Amino acid sequence: MVTMLSGYLLAVFGLCATALAIPSQIPFSSIENVRKIDTWALNPTGDAAVIRVKSGSQHELHLLAINAQFTVPSVLYDAANAQARYTFLDDQTILTATPESEGHEGVWDLTTQTLNYTTLPPAYPPSASKHNKLGEVTLGSDLKELVHSAQAGVLTVVLPENLVLIEVAQHEEGWTIKGEPRLVKHKELIYLFDLRDTSSSPVLLRHSTKSQLTSTAFGNGENIAWLADHRLWLSVGRDQGEVQLNFDLSPEKIVFSKDGEAIYLLAPHDDQQSLFHLWTPSKSETIPITPVRIPSNGTIHSAIHVGITPLDHAHLIGIKSDSAKGEGKELWVISHSPHEDPTYNYENIRLTYFT
Ligand SMILES: *[C@@H]1O[C@H](CO)[C@@H](O)[C@H](O)[C@H]1NC(C)=O
Ligand SMILES: *[C@@H]1O[C@H](CO)[C@@H](O)[C@H](O)[C@H]1NC(C)=O
């Protein structure tokens, strides 16, 4: 899938990661009615989110302002379409893709809403404006992900085998779609696209029929990382190589820190899934690196690095669940000091308190 957009470039690959089995240590029936997040989107600053919550057979959309120092309760906005996908065009603009209900199979509506939120105490509950329709796009039925590249002004829709690139622009009256959507195929390869120049051909970064390429991620400058059969690879300009790790787990996903200096590997172990930290290696690094586990209880399903605090703690916001405690998937801040032993310098802060 598409993991991150840096500047004007987009790296994609073809094969899908297999879904992870969530350890279920308590009977299914008792966790079935737990409210859990089934999809979410974070704004670029990392201080507001839209979360779709599944509660029984119902789907609800909740709005959340985020301050890791104190709780801002989330607001139930409305019932939600179970297939819809969300992203942010800027900190205040939510973009929603929803399948059209009447007749037109495979046609999706793209709408924007303005989010009114604050994270300053006493924070008022966030609210959203009415939907403003941007347009309709034919996408088919299985929409995986929406990614917005702010610098290039391109919204990328990730489908199982294709990408649809849609140019979006902001005017005084709001956001609009420019030109026709462009379809791009992807499979077994990692391509680099220059989104500024949509007429240019993508550059082939990696082709592998032998190994499964997953989880492309952008770091700083020319750094692009991916997993080949669960092993970490790094590309810097024209150089590509496997990063030598002292690590016997199989990572599923790569998360780069916002400044590109650290890499987090999301890897399953002992009936749970955790984040493991390593500093982004330089080309000359020859000694195998030992990734350090960030303590957390339960399974981390996804995470986004949102920045480093003045006290030098790295903050990641992600979805976590602890089925041993009967918890559904909720939003957490996972923070740690990357310079000290994280066993003594970490915090997990729950963000979702449903109202
Ligand atoms: C945002 O919401 C607050 C609280 O309801 C309200 O006082 C404020 O006027 C709203 N701001 C805008 C720009 O609508
Ligand atoms: C994680 O679990 C251990 C033991 O079950 C407990 O002592 C610890 O406080 C938990 N940590 C968090 C962050 O919940």
Tens of pLDDT along 71-94?
A: 887 899 999 999 999 999 999 999
Residues paired with residue 184 on neighbouring β-strands, in sequence order: 163
Nearest atom in ligand 2 to the alpha carbon of residue 348 is 13
Domain's final residue, options 157, 187, 217: 187
The predicted pLDDT at position 111 comes to: 96
In angstroms, what is the span from residue 84 Cα to ligand 1's centroid? 27
Greater confidence (104 vs 20) lies with 104
Query: Are residues 48 and 172 both part of a single domain?
Result: yes
For the ranges 132-146, 193-207, 283-297, the lowest mean pLDDT is seen at: 193-207
Cα separation, 231 vs 242, whole angstroms: 7
The predicted pLDDT at position 354 comes to: 74
92-131 confidence digits (pLDDT tens): 999 999 998 776 889 999 999 999 999 988 888 999 999 9
Ligand (nearest to CA of 117): 1
The predicted pLDDT at position 10 comes to: 54
Nearest CA to ligand 1 atom 12: 116
In a domain, residue 228? The reply is no
In a domain, residue 25? The reply is yes
The predicted pLDDT at position 198 comes to: 67
**Whether residue 294 has pLDDT greater than 90:** yes
Query: Are residues 170 and 259 both part of a single domain?
Result: no
- Residue 134: its H or E element: strand 132-138
Query: Are residues 181 and 279 both part of a single domain?
Result: no
**Whether residue 319 has pLDDT greater than 70:** yes
In a domain, residue 60? The reply is yes
Neighbours of 202 (CB within 10 A): 17
Query: Are residues 162 and 277 both part of a single domain?
Result: no
Residues 6+ away with beta carbon under 8 Å from 54? 35, 36, 37, 38
In angstroms, what is the span from residue 125 Cα to ligand 1's centroid? 10
Greater confidence (181 vs 14) lies with 181
Q: Which of 230, 48, 199 is nearest to 126 (CA)?
A: 48
**How far out from the chain centre does Cα 140 lie?**
22
Q: In the chain, pLDDT over 90 holds for what percent of residues?
A: 50
In a domain, residue 313? The reply is yes
Residues paired with residue 156 on neighbouring β-strands, in sequence order: 147, 165
The predicted pLDDT at position 186 comes to: 62
Query: Are residues 163 and 266 both part of a single domain?
Result: no
In a domain, residue 193? The reply is no
In a domain, residue 142? The reply is yes
In a domain, residue 195? The reply is no
Greater confidence (38 vs 29) lies with 38
Q: Which of 216, 226, 213, 157 is nearest to 187 (CA)?
A: 213
Nearest CA to ligand 1 atom 11: 116
In angstroms, what is the span from residue 348 Cα to ligand 2's centroid? 10
**Single-letter residue type at 164:** V
Read off the pLDDT of each residue in 40-50 and give the average, rounded to a whole number: 95
Nearest CA to ligand 2 atom 7: 297
Which residues have CB under 6 Å of ligand 2?
Answer: 297, 348
The predicted pLDDT at position 32 comes to: 53
Identify the burial level of 152 via C-beta atoms within 10 angstroms of its C-beta, where 0-12 means exposed, 13-18 middle and 19 or more buried.
Answer: buried
Query: Are residues 157 and 21 both part of a single domain?
Result: yes
Domain's final residue, options 171, 187, 203: 187
Which residues have CB under 6 Å of ligand 1?
Answer: 116, 124, 127
For the ranges 34-38, 211-215, 268-272, the lowest mean pLDDT is seen at: 211-215
> Which domain does 134 fall in, by range?
17-187
Query: Are residues 248 and 165 both part of a single domain?
Result: no
Specify the pTM.
0.84
The predicted pLDDT at position 163 comes to: 84
Ligand (nearest to CA of 343): 2
Read off the pLDDT of each residue in 36-55 and give the average, rounded to a whole number: 94
Domain's final residue, options 187, 212, 230: 187
In angstroms, what is the span from residue 116 Cα to ligand 1's centroid? 6
**Whether residue 247 has pLDDT greater than 90:** yes
Average pLDDT, the chain: 85
Strand pairing category for 213-218 and 223-228: antiparallel
Query: Are residues 165 and 257 both part of a single domain?
Result: no
Query: Are residues 267 and 340 both part of a single domain?
Result: yes
Overall number of domains in the chain: 2
**Whether residue 23 has pLDDT greater than 50:** no
In angstroms, what is the span from residue 297 Cα to ligand 2's centroid? 6
Ligand (nearest to CA of 124): 1
Name the pLDDT band for 29 (thresholds 50, 70, 90): very low
In angstroms, what is the span from residue 124 Cα to ligand 1's centroid? 8
Ligand (nearest to CA of 296): 2
Query: Are residues 178 and 282 both part of a single domain?
Result: no
